Every structure is written in structure tokens, then in C-alpha cells.
Amino acid sequence: MKPLCYTAFMIEIYGTLGPACADRMILQKMFELGMTGMRLNLSHMSLVQADRMIRLMRSSGGEHAKLLIDLQGPEVRIGILPETVLLEDHDTVLLGQDIPVSPVILNEIRENDEILLDDGKILLKAIEKRPQCILAEVLRGGRLSSRKSLAVPGKSFHLPTLTEADMENLSHAREYGVYGVMLPFVRGKQDLIDLRRALKETGNEQIRIFAKIENMDGVNKIDELIPECDEIVIARGDLGNAMPLWELPRVQKYLSRKCREAGRPFMVVTQMLASMENSPVPTRAEVSDIYNAVLDGASSVMVTGETASGKYPAEVIRYLVNTVRS
């Protein structure tokens, strides 16, 4: 590993585009502070629908910023809710009716399975399988909105690598100057081969592939994934749902070591400054987490909801940049 004084200034700093930072002055400040690129989550909108935000980013100092698009891929999500739903502890809900879920997913869920929603913020337990739905108890409640993630620890779902929406977005990638494509829930090298083929078919051979490790399939197959991508993403949100949370630091260290040994760049992401969604100052644990990712050899770090929907997007970048460079 190169000395920290050298590598710290080579690390890419990514924010995430969203309503909280869709302002010219805020974006200008974020770039002035040292942000080098931005992610756009395409699980909730398309590239074309994000046209205004992308143009605003470019005109605010991001002319040469590295734009990453985060595809839908084989990620499991709930469907569209008419409005936000409050799930309280000990409530019962019907997956497939109260909460729209694909029949493909329902077929795989069994009684007593735990079901994690919205990156694990909400926890359900399957009680009874019924025709076209599943009765579940709320073990840990919260507010649930449309298109939030769904995970069942220990289970993999047989979904195609790319959705129709992904292919449509890839067809517009060149005109928006996309630098890299993030593929969620990579399960094996075939997912990355499929994405590489789709990039070629849409005239985007130059776009880099970022493989998001978010399940145990990805962890267990890291050796076959590394040669097929340009950068590994240690995406700790859903990855933390795939195992007891106390095992996550060990797995992060394992993936970091694998990437270092192979000479493959890697990114660390999720909840790096989560408290700053509502606070102007991070916790001591958060800045220590960022610093340790740098020490482990991360080539890039990223914040998500902190800049997309948080109250202090520019301050988030200030702390992220200063901690990386300290």
C-alpha cells in the first residue's frame, strides 16, 4: 500500500444527486470542497427524467465530474405504494397486497423467514403463506415508501441481470457523459459479462463497470468478480442485511484485502456520515470509519442519502474530504 500522504489525494469523493443538493450554489460549494463525482440512483427515476439535475450539476462546476449511474439490476424491491405507510411494531401486513411484492419473490419466502425492508430499517416475519400473498408480523416498524429494498437473509432470488429500464438508461448513457455503471447485487461473473455485453450493444464500451457486493453470493465469488469489473463496491447497506451485523466489519476487511491483493480499485459506501442527514456534525465513529476505509486502501468513498436527501449536503462533503485527506 502506498503511503497515506500520497493516496489520500488520489481518492475519488462521490456524492449522490437528489433533491437536497439540486441547487446551483450548493453543488458549486460541494465541488469547491473537493467532490470529484456524483452518483445517480436509477431505481427511482430514469436518466431522461434526471436531465435537469444532471445539467445543473454540470453547470455548477461538474463539467468534468465523474457521473455514476446505479442501475436497478437484480436488486429486489417492493412496488409502488399509493402513499407512505407507517408500520408499527406487532402490526400484521399482507405482502403482495398491502405491500406490493413480485410473485417471483413471494414464491421464495417461507413461514418464519425474516424480511428486511428499506436497507434493514424495517423487519418483518412471515407468519402464513396465502394465495398470492403472505401474512407477516412487524417486528421492527418504521415508515415505508415505494421502491424500497427487500431482502431475506440466506435467500437468493432468480432475477435477470438487467431490467428493461436498465437497457433504456444505457441507451442514453453516452449523451449524458456517464463515466461508470454500478450494478447492484452482483451474484457471479455472468452478471458482469451480461452488463459488459449490454454496454457494447449500446455503444458504451468506454464506460467503467462498478460491481456492487451486496449479498453472500458476491462475497463468496469475489475472486471471479474482480477480473470482470473495473472497480468493486463494498456496499454495506444491503450487505449488512445478508449476515448478522456484527460480522460486517470482518467481511469488509476481507473484501478490501482481496481487492488490494489483486490490484483492483474498490469503493466503500453506505452510512459513512448517516448522522449528518439530520445533524451538521458527524459522530466520532463515522469519521473513524472513513479514515479506516482509506487505510484499507479504498480508491473511492461515497455518500448517498446524506447529500441526496439530507439537511447538510455541503457540510457532508466537507467532512468527507477533510477526513480522507487528514
Domain with CATH 3.20.20.60 in the chain: 4-76+159-325
**Cβ atoms of 61 and 28 closer than 8 Å:** yes
Name the band, by pLDDT with cuts 50, 70 and 90, for residue 40. Answer: very high
Region 4-76+159-325: CATH code: 3.20.20.60
Q: What's the rounded mean pLDDT across residues 276-299? A: 98
Residue 43, burial from CB neighbour count under 10 angstroms (0-12, 13-18, 19+): middle
Cα(8)–Cα(67) distance, integer angstroms: 21
Region 85-151: CATH code: 2.40.33.10
User: Each residue of 75-125: pLDDT tens digit?
Assistant: 788 999 999 999 999 999 999 999 999 888 899 899 999 999 998 899 999
Above 60 in pLDDT, residue 3?
Answer: no
User: Each residue of 206-221: pLDDT tens digit?
Assistant: 999 999 999 999 999 9
Q: Which residues, 6+ apart, have CB-to-CB distance to 204 below 8 Å?
A: 170, 173, 174, 178, 181
